Amino acid sequence: MTTAQRCLRPVRLGWHTLRRWMAAAGKAQVRSVLVRAYPTCRGRPARAWTSGSIERVCSDAARRFLPMLLRAHYQPRPSALTLPLGNDAAPPQKACEKGGIVKAGRPWRWSGAREIRHRQAPKRVPNRDESRLGAQTPLDDATQRMPAFRTSLGRLQSHRRIWILAILLVASFAFPAPAQQEPNESLEPPERRNPVRELFEKLDIEYHGFYEARAGTRLRDDPHQSKDLTIGEARYQFDLFAPRDWGDVKVKGDVYGDLVTERIEFDLREANLFLRPTDRLDLKLGRQVLTWGTGDLIFINDLFPKDWVSFFIGRDTEYLKAPSDAVKVSLFSDLANLDVVYTPQFDPDRYLTGERLSYFNPILGRRAGENDVLRVERPNDFFEDDELALRLYRNISNYELALYAYWGYWKSPAGFNPTLSAAIFPELHVYGASIRGTVGKGIGNAEIGYYDSADDRAGTNPLINDSEMRYLLGYTQEVARDFTVGVQYYVEQMLDYGAYQAGLFPGSPARDEFRHVTSLRLTQLLMNQNLMLSLFAYYSPSDQDVYLRPIVNYKASDQLMYEIGANVFFGEERHTFFNQFHHNTNVYAGVRYSF
């Protein structure tokens, strides 16, 4: 309840009625009320009646007249206006107190009123909030100045003047303050100096970032990990952007202390140069975060690196996309647009190795953790172990159509070299297509991809992933105000499945020919969209396992944000994709201050 509502409540005036009157009244009508109740306002030119001047006049009028108004309204007439003050006053027989205001006479009609007796003249009993703040009330002020205002109080006993002053009080809170104030009227403290920001401003560089702290723990005992802590870090991110006539320079990095690894890390997420030589050509060179495709946390033709460790331990979703050291060329034409991304050295996913999260190791035939860290043999030759990705797309009506191609390697280990006793990244070629656009009241999408495992096209090598077909259908709609629902259906089809079964090692768990996954995203925004309740759920009917990602995110201000969430895994078989992380089920909390 606002200050105006608290002041008007004892007067029993219609607050909503006054608000409707203020909304319908124009500046001229409000000015006429001001002139009638505040004679010193006569003669001001119309252009001088700004929202700020109206607010200042209303506030002053309410401050001057409201104490007398309340005293005239609540005391018995006429004797209450002429009672002597001090200990010599004849006390009333009874008084009832409600909401901090004492009134002589019959008890209040409101429930909860309690009788109190006085040996002195009626006085105001401060309520709990005002006792704590030590605030002086309008009635206190009026009681102290009663002799000086007896004549004025007599003129204010009419209900007509009560309504006028009440309207003035509402106006003082209904009209916003002026956008610009004079220096001596500003109540906000001066902004604190930031030497770092001032330095970058002199260099014409935009400086942004945030400070963040996150902590999370496992909800289940993991025999393969010595620590229950899944995340415990204090992070500082800086984001520098320098626009120039010849191009743009962007640098973004994270410095954080990690309690799990007990190290201080630096992660350079972006360091690139953007150029636009012509209107039909864009160039972006350096470290950058890349993405394309239509899936929601399901990726088919997006073969850029992902950080699955960050995703599973509760870091912000932005960290799922890992950076690439690449050159991106964008060509634009009336027929179609083309994106070409060349990575001179293979950039793999930030995959699970057992150091932080346990997983199922098919070579060992069991879950592995920090005592069985995965050894890998990564393609690492510059300009030889490179990657090339293409996207050709255009818009037709309300639909975006795209074709994709990729030549490189499986982004996470997808094979095993028994000679080296290490996991490897076999060669991979991907060709796909997608469409996205309006379907009914929502947005629909469809995507397909052919995964050509170039090192085992026949499917006879059980140590290398076979070729696959991948399909995705999705639909998202806002079913109610600030409530969005998204569903997806995803299928992985293993090609040459007969050859795979024939070459399978005895005792090894076999994959299904078709792996089905459904996903559901529920997002509810509350409190002027400052509170977000989100649930993302994966369910595989073929693997019989589930992965849940509930998140509660609250923006306390433009700078301060709080978040709590969880990563929950469960299923029937220990080797299935989601249930292999069963022991990693965790809950986490974080706070971020942005600048």
H or E element in which residue 15 lies: helix 15-24
Answer whether residue 412 shows pLDDT above 60: yes
Q: How far, in Å, are 59, 153, 169, 498, 538 from residue 494 at the CA level?
A: 75, 91, 74, 10, 20
> Radius of gyration over alpha carbons of the chain, in Å?
35
Question: Please, what sign has the CA dihedral across residues 161, 163, 169, 172?
Answer: negative
CB atoms within 10 A of CB 440: 8
Answer whether residue 484 shows pLDDT above 70: yes
Tokens, residue 183? 């220096």
One-letter amino acid of 279: D
HEC per residue, 81-144: HCCCCCCCCCCCCCEEEECCEEEECCCCCCCCCEEECCCCCCCCCCCHHHHHHCCCCHHHHHHH
- How sure is the predictor about 382, in pLDDT bands with cuts at 50, 70 and 90? very high
Answer whether residue 314 shows pLDDT above 70: yes
| Rounded Cα–Cα distance for residues 546 and 578 (Å) | 6
Q: How far, in Å, are 318, 341, 553 from residue 290 at the CA level?
A: 12, 9, 25
Answer whether residue 73 shows pLDDT above 80: no
Ramachandran region, residue 195 (left: φ > 0; alpha: ψ -120 to 50; beta: rest): alpha
Tokens, residue 57? 């006049």
What's the pLDDT at 290? 97
One-letter amino acid of 302: D
- How sure is the predictor about 58, in pLDDT bands with cuts at 50, 70 and 90? low
One-letter amino acid of 424: I
- How sure is the predictor about 502, in pLDDT bands with cuts at 50, 70 and 90? confident
Tokens, residue 125? 């009993």
Contact 462, 488 (CB under 8 A): no
Residue predicted with more confidence, 199 or 486: 486
Q: How far, in Å, are 18, 28, 31, 62, 166 from residue 21 at the CA level?
A: 5, 13, 14, 18, 12
Contact 589, 563 (CB under 8 A): yes
Which residues pair with residue 568 across a beta bridge?
Answer: 548
HEC per residue, 286-332: EEECCCCCCCCCCCCCCCCCEEHHHHHHCCCHHHHECCEEEEEEEEC
Contact 304, 325 (CB under 8 A): no
Determine the 3-state secondary structure of 472 from DSSP. strand
What's the pLDDT at 479? 96
Count of residues in the chain? 595
H or E element in which residue 29 lies: helix 27-37
Average pLDDT value for the chain: 79
Contact 568, 548 (CB under 8 A): yes
What's the pLDDT at 8? 42
| Rounded Cα–Cα distance for residues 429 and 465 (Å) | 13
What's the pLDDT at 128? 42
| Rounded Cα–Cα distance for residues 92 and 38 (Å) | 35
Ramachandran region, residue 325 (left: φ > 0; alpha: ψ -120 to 50; beta: rest): beta
First to last CA, the chain: 31
Alpha-carbon 398 to chain mean position: 29
Domain boundaries, the chain: 3-179, 220-229+273-594
Q: Is the peptide bond before 277 cis (omega within 30 degrees of 0)?
A: no
What's the pLDDT at 458? 87
Contact 355, 310 (CB under 8 A): no
- How sure is the predictor about 161, in pLDDT bands with cuts at 50, 70 and 90? very low
Q: Comparing 153-162, 333-342, 372-381, 460-469, which segment has the lowest mean pLDDT?
A: 153-162
What's the pLDDT at 447? 98
Tokens, residue 28? 């001229």
H or E element in which residue 175 lies: none
Q: What is the CATH number of domain 220-229+273-594?
A: 2.40.160
What's the pLDDT at 507? 79
Answer whether residue 166 shows pLDDT above 70: no
Contact 438, 422 (CB under 8 A): no
Pairing of strands 427-439, 560-571: unpaired
Which residues pair with residue 393 across a beta bridge?
Answer: 337, 402
Q: How far, in Å, are 125, 517, 593 from residue 562 at the CA level?
A: 39, 31, 9
Ramachandran region, residue 411 (left: φ > 0; alpha: ψ -120 to 50; beta: rest): alpha
Which residues pair with residue 454 across a beta bridge?
Answer: none
* 322-350 pLDDT tens trace: 999 999 999 999 999 999 999 999 999 99
What's the pLDDT at 32? 55
Tokens, residue 465? 């992933």
Answer whether residue 385 shows pLDDT above 60: yes
| Rounded Cα–Cα distance for residues 162 and 201 (Å) | 55
Answer whether residue 157 shows pLDDT above 70: no
Q: What is the DSSP letter of 346?
A: -
**pLDDT average, residue stretch 99-107:** 40
Rounded to two decimals, the pTM is 0.69
Answer whether residue 152 shows pLDDT above 70: no
Determine the 3-state secondary structure of 171 from DSSP. helix
Tokens, residue 223? 């025999």
CB atoms within 10 A of CB 583: 21
CA neighbor of 364 nearest in space, from 221, 509, 467, 511: 509
* 525-564 pLDDT tens trace: 999 999 999 999 999 999 999 999 999 999 999 999 999 9
| Rounded Cα–Cα distance for residues 231 and 216 (Å) | 5
Contact 28, 47 (CB under 8 A): no
Backbone angles phi, psi at 263, to 5 degrees: -140, 160
Answer whether residue 168 shows pLDDT above 70: no
What's the pLDDT at 130? 43
In sequence order, the 6+-apart residues with CB closer than 8 A to the CB of 318 are: none
- In the chain, the percentage of residues whose pLDDT exceeds 70 is 68
What's the pLDDT at 190? 63
Contact 532, 553 (CB under 8 A): yes
**pLDDT average, residue stretch 436-464:** 94
HEC per residue, 408-467: EECCCCCEEECCCCEEECCEEEEEEEEEEEEECCEEEEEEEEEEEECCCCCCCCCCECCC
What's the pLDDT at 193? 77
CA atoms within 13 A on the CB side of 43: 2
Answer whether residue 74 shows pLDDT above 50: no
Q: Comparing 39-43, 62-66, 244-248, which segment has the lowest mean pLDDT?
A: 39-43
